[in-house]
């Protein structure tokens, strides 16, 4: 496979993957382009490379910066803004985990804590018991997942993987 073909395939595939971790296809494609670019790129560079509008690039870059996986750089003497991606895979993975935890897991835990104080109603006792059981189990699972993500995001790469290897006996 030639470089341009491999590059295109990577960007397209990363775009599809990104939708599964909570960002748009365009955001993920921009992220992929920045990850594999040895130098920071301007908005114009990104527009040209991916064939997308300035507005879409600007909005996507702003979101990627909010996610903490893309950074804005300035070149002395140049009025353009340059963008680069986090290249350390561990830092990238932990940052994505933190964002997903904040955007998905924490709201679910808050909601489950709110609905657990359901009032008793003798006419719907069976339904209420079933509701309480499943929401209690989901809350327990969500809190355990939250704790696991906290361990992951606060640990160092070597420590984390050495513990995982021990867990699986390798």
Task: Express each pLDDT in 68-97 by its tens digit.
Answer: 999 999 888 889 999 999 999 888 888 888
Residue 165's pLDDT is 65
> Is pLDDT above 80 for 167?
no
How far, CA to CA in Å, does 62 sit from each of 36, 67, 139?
Answer: 19, 9, 33
Residue 170's pLDDT is 64
Task: Express each pLDDT in 146-165 by its tens digit.
Answer: 898 888 788 776 666 666 66
**Rounded to whole angstroms, how far apart are CA atoms 36 and 55?**
22
Split at pLDDT 50, 70, 90, the class of 100 is confident
């Amino acid at each position: 496979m030639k470089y341009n073909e491999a590059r295109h395939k990577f960007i397209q595939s990363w775009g599809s993957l990104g939708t599964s971790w909570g960002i748009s296809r365009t955001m993920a494609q921009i992220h992929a382009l920045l990850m594999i670019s040895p130098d920071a790129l301007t908005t114009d560079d990104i527009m040209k490379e991916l064939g997308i509008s300035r507005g879409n690039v600007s909005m996507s870059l702003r979101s990627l910066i909010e996610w903490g996986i893309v950074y804005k750089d300035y070149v002395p003497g140049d009025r353009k803004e340059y963008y680069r991606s986090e290249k350390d895979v561990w830092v990238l993975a932990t940052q994505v985990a933190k964002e997903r935890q904040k955007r998905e897991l924490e709201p679910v835990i808050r909601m489950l804590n709110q609905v657990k104080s359901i009032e008793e109603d003798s006419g719907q006792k069976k339904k209420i018991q079933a509701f309480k059981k499943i929401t209690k189990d989901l809350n327990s699972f969500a809190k355990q997942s939250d704790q696991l993500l906290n361990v992951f995001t606060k640990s160092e790469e070597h420590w984390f993987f050495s513990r995982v290897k021990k867990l699986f006996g390798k």
